[in-house]
Chain A
């Protein structure tokens, strides 16, 4: 029988900050990407959550809900280092660790549980090691169950710093009382559609006919059906492997709205667009991938959004090509309202471009990209930059250096 542990770090970024700085302990702390009124709180401490601060939320809103709220500028190098320490601890207990996100992972312990005295004992040992090696403030909640779907559900039940086991005895009861939106993979829109079918709890979902779900959700019906029954779909693990990227993207919220119609703002907008293209394209190249589709996303001052995708016959990988195509999309959209956010995404990934090209120009482009990537990897992001990005704030896509380092080959 399969046995999984789902380890979910409690308020990860905020806990790391509280561990580093004891004067922040006991205070409602939140990690942000800035300090301006538009900064977004990406993680809130347990104290802040208790006072009603949910994440992600805008800093101004968090301060309104909780006047004592302490914003901390996120230090992603720190979080990624702790993430690696955590993975090292996990690897002592099983070789099958599947990283779900920076603060979540699944551990398949079916074959190793007995050696350590059971899955609950492993959970206990992991918690003890966290306290000893990382610090007393960095805690986690662990769910133990026979499937990944159920272990993820279990880790939510006894938060923070708890352990919860779902087994054959209590599985039915838990699925009966679990709202369908609590399941991993059911978002707001899916919940709405499920509710329309009369599906409110996980048990309702599991009992609903597979054919009916497929009719309503297409191929996702299989996934939902399994989810409602507390089972995993075969091949789902492969999907979550870190090598299975489907897209690379970045987005950025400007400190102030920018007007595309003004030439000064447009130049600034394009400079940031170039940085986003550089960040996404570089990550893609690191995986020896190229893309065929580019998507542009814009959010206007009133929070309405606009997105446009374009697919091409030929694949492309260089920052220059990505930027050129993104720039055309932006010019075609020519937004007449002030913008607050811009983002790009590269998808329909392929390895075709990784082979040597017969055309000299393409090969030159590839060589140049590789040389620039080497220099920037060695000396730091944006060591060599093009004139396009000079107008930008020069911070680059700062998350690139931290979050994506773990995905490097």
Chain B
């Protein structure tokens, strides 16, 4: 099942060839390594751009949203 979290989190990001991807994140006082990016997509609200990353970390699913305008990362949901 999926659980909504909607919590601002810190994310370590790697940049390569004009692309970026999250590598690890801090949540519940723990650093969690991102093992696989399953799906990425972008969306807009008005003219605000958002990047979404669905990832796997330690077998669990997490979905992050990167707000380009505010430069913030939000952990939107996870599996439990």
Q: Which label, helix, strand, loop or mixed, suits the secondary structure of the A interface?
A: helix
Which residues of A368-393 are within 8 A (CB) of B?
376-380, 383
Residues of B within 8 A of A134 (CB): 39
User: With A70-B1, A72-B2, A135-B38 as given contacts, are A20 and B46 in contact (CB-CB < 8 Å)?
Assistant: no
Bound: A20/B60 CA distance, A = 11
In the complex, the answer to whether A20 meets B39 with C-beta atoms within 8 Å is: yes
Looking at A19, A22, A134, A376, which has the most chain B CB atoms within 10 Å of its CB? A22
A81 close to chain B: CB less than 8 A: yes
- A239 CB to nearest chain B CB (Å): 31
Tell me the count of chain A residues lying within 8 A, CB to CB, of chain B: 20
In the complex, the answer to whether B2 meets A78 with C-beta atoms within 8 Å is: no
B28 close to chain A: CB less than 8 A: no
Residues of A within 8 A of B48 (CB): 380
Encode B1-27 as 1/0 by CB contact (under 8 A) with A. Answer: 110000000000000000000000000
Which residues of A10-50 are within 8 A (CB) of B?
16, 19-23
Residues of A within 8 A of B54 (CB): 19-21
In the complex, the answer to whether A135 meets B39 with C-beta atoms within 8 Å is: yes
CB-nearest residue of chain B to A81: B41
Counting contact residues on chain B (CB < 8 A from A), the size range is: 10 to 19
A77 close to chain B: CB less than 8 A: yes
Which residues of A55-103 are within 8 A (CB) of B?
70, 72, 77-78, 81-82
State the total of A-B contacts with C-beta under 8 angstroms: 48
B68 close to chain A: CB less than 8 A: no
Residues of B within 8 A of A377 (CB): 46
- A87 CB to nearest chain B CB (Å): 14
- A377 CB to nearest chain B CB (Å): 7
Encode B21-49 as 1/0 by CB contact (under 8 A) with A. Answer: 00000000000000000110111011110
Which residues of A185-226 are within 8 A (CB) of B?
none
In the complex, the answer to whether B46 meets A378 with C-beta atoms within 8 Å is: yes
- B37 CB to nearest chain A CB (Å): 10
Residues of A within 8 A of B63 (CB): 20-21
CB-nearest residue of chain B to A82: B41
Bound: A135/B41 CA distance, A = 13
Bound: A19/B47 CA distance, A = 27
Residues of A within 8 A of B52 (CB): 77-78
Bound: A23/B1 CA distance, A = 8
Bound: A379/B69 CA distance, A = 13
In the complex, the answer to whether B38 meets A383 with C-beta atoms within 8 Å is: no
- Where the two chains meet, the residues of A that have a C-beta atom closer than 8 Å to any C-beta of B are 16, 19-23, 70, 72, 77-78, 81-82, 134-135, 376-380, 383
Q: Could you list 11 examples of A-B contacts with CB < 8 Å? A: A19-B39, A20-B38, A20-B39, A20-B63, A23-B61, A72-B2, A77-B41, A78-B41, A135-B38, A377-B46, A380-B46
Given contacts A21-B54, A22-B38, A77-B41, 5 further A-B contacts (CB under 8 A): A20-B54, A21-B61, A21-B63, A377-B46, A379-B45
